[in-house]
Amino acid sequence: MNNRITYLKAEFELNPTDPFNAYGLAMEYLSNNPSEALTWLEWLLTNIPDYLPTYYQAASLYQDFDDAQNARMCYDKGIALAKAQNNPKILAELERAYYNFQLEN
């Protein structure tokens, strides 16, 4: 286990309500262990559903795992949340990715 993962797990244990620690773990696992990355993203979707960055990454991983239903759900919820949080940058990213997803599915 790399030092960054060890650090983030320790930080998560100290403060599990800080979404950055779980999101950081997901990003650390993304390239080498996507299943573990998805586990952390799903934890965020369940426990801290207003953490907007989760939706883009989770939707992308669901696509990688050929889970169109969950990818669509993440795009829909993420787009609605980005609108509610008035975050035009992430909204545009989610809408662009969702459009590409719809072309492929």
pTM: 0.93
Chain-centroid distance, C-alpha 54: 3
Domain that holds residue 77: 3-104
Please state the domain count of the chain: 1
pLDDT digits (tens, 9 = 90+) for 42-90: 999 999 999 999 999 999 999 999 999 999 999 999 999 999 999 999 9
Task: Give one DSSP letter per residue of 9-37, joined into a string.
Answer: HHHHHH-TT-HHHHHHHHHHHTTT-HHHH
Residue 60 belongs to domain with CATH number? 1.25.40.10
Q: Which residue has tokens 């169109």?
A: 68
